[in-house]
Amino acid sequence: MSSLTIVTLLILTLCLYSNEVSSSSEISVSTPFAIGSRVILRSIDDKSEKPDYAVELNATNFDSVLKETPAAYAVVEFFAHWCPACRNYKPQYEKIAKIFNGADAVHPGIILMTRVDCALKINTDLCDKFSVGHYPMLLWGPPSKFVSGSWNPKQEKSEIRSIDDGRTADRLLNWINKQLSSSYRLDDEKFENDQLQKNASDIGQIARAIYDIEEATSTAFDIILDHKMIKSETQASLVKFFQLLVVHHPSRRCRKGTSEILVDFDDFSSNKKETDSAGEKGALRNYQICGKDVPRGYWMFCRGSKNETRGFSCGLWVLLHSLSVRVDDGESQMAFTTICDFIHSFFICEECRQHFYSMCSSVSSPFKKSREFVLWLWDTHNKVNKRLMKEEASLGTGDPEYPKIIWPPRQLCPSCYLSGSGKNDGNSRIEWDHDEVYKFLMGYYGKTLVTLYKDKELLVEKRADGVLAEDLAVSASAHAVVVPVGAALAIAVASCAFGALACYWRQHQKSRKYKYLHSLKNI
């Protein structure tokens, strides 16, 4: 058979095949895959698959995810994708993950449900560190204990525990309920039968608000962009507020994200009369003001018993209070005008905006001390609460589990009330001990607010320092040198001097940084 005949037969075969494909009513002619391709079938099947709620972790993101989560506890399932028992267990585990993970969870921010595939080579060392000896294996503990951590079944004192009775969704949830003294159920609905923390006398509750402050900061940024609120007349107010956040925001992630926006702000706002077009919707959208995982889509300290109550407004108030207790005396007036201008320019609730700005305008003399500003914001918040208490009572729009009250309640700060003061129901006149109120606010919105956040940071830093210390000890033993006493004394004195100098430099840099950012207000 000649080569010409072979080529002709091939062309005829391809033509007939093409006609068959184009005549099929089930496959589109534009499909880039061959008929019967497993890729096509898999893509169709994937659309019908339910989403996974458990967070897939591996050796590259294990520490970072567990370090940053706001959840108080974590469950880590170690499994192998080839294991039939693991595949059968996955739907059971997903039922629990759906309750706790993500913005649509019934009880978000309490437990982080995660999975690690030990069959992947990248996770071999990670699974060895946690003594994985069978599949599936579940471990429970505070997220920070998993970070750079390990587990051994023979270890007597460990906050990481093995879950031995969790082979079904019901049994796993029962085990969790026993640990937390809770009553979560598989059929719980969002905001119904919720384990809301309503004990106002528990001062430690505010520690979880650090995550709500991040949520409020990111939400406010999104609102500004969504509603194209950055105009030539409001731009300076936003820059000044960002300057305040860079120095005094209680969250390191938000300070970092805001500083990145400020550094590049002039790149997409210069030479534009209004930045609500490509600059605001394009360039600014690329910035994540509080990190890639924020907003999370749910609230913790500020969570209401209804979808429409508390949330963003609560988070914004906590943000403002946390800023007020962090400014120095010389910054108090600037912080006051910055916050007033920001609310006036960017708070989208018209009535609330006007009310707040009228209270700002009623201040007749500038603040000379940060104490004055802290107490003014506290008093302003109480005036807002008092007004809303009456409106919500008459209209029935308040949160039944979190009615508005005058803050702080007596059980949270008894020393704030002078003897014989009235009830904090909005009707009685309360005699406050302002010194005690100020002391309470500084502790509540200052140290207590960031307790959980700082503890996680400190724990990770200590572990990192511990590893470094071990490395240095090994290095020192391998290269031991005899140091004369005089030289050792000189080194000690030099170290002390350097430490003092470092402290001074750090404080100086903070001042310089703030002054520099303040100079950007005319951008």
Active site residues: 83, 86
Beta strands across the sheet bearing 73-79? 55-57, 111-117, 73-79, 137-141, 161-162
Cβ-based neighbours of 61, under 8 Å, separated by 6 or more: none
Report the candidate in 130, 145, 125, 65 with the shortest Cα–Cα distance to residue 462.
Answer: 145
- CA-to-CA distance for 182 and 42, rounded, in angstroms? 41
Token pair for 471 = 């490395």
Give the integer Cα–Cα distance in Å for 357 and 346.
Answer: 12
Full DSSP string of 137-178: EEEEE-HHHHTT----TT-SS-S-EE--S-SSHHHHHHHHHH
Tell me which residue of 317, 344, 147 sits closest to 234, measured CA to CA: 344
Q: Are 178 and 170 in contact (CB under 8 A)?
A: no
> Does an H or E element contain 321, and which?
helix 312-324
Alpha-carbon distance 413 to 203, whole Å? 9
Query: Exposed (0-12), middle (13-18) or buried (19+): which is 429, by Cβ within 10 Å?
Result: exposed
Q: 227-245 b/e with 16+ CB inside 10 Å = b?
A: eebbeeebbebbbbbbbbb
Residue 386 tokens, joined: 């008092």
Measure the CA dihedral 346/349/355/357, to 10°: 10
CB atoms inside a 10 Å sphere around CB 105: 20
Q: What is the DSSP string of 285-320?
A: GG--TT-TT---S--STTB-SSTTSBTHHHHHHHHH
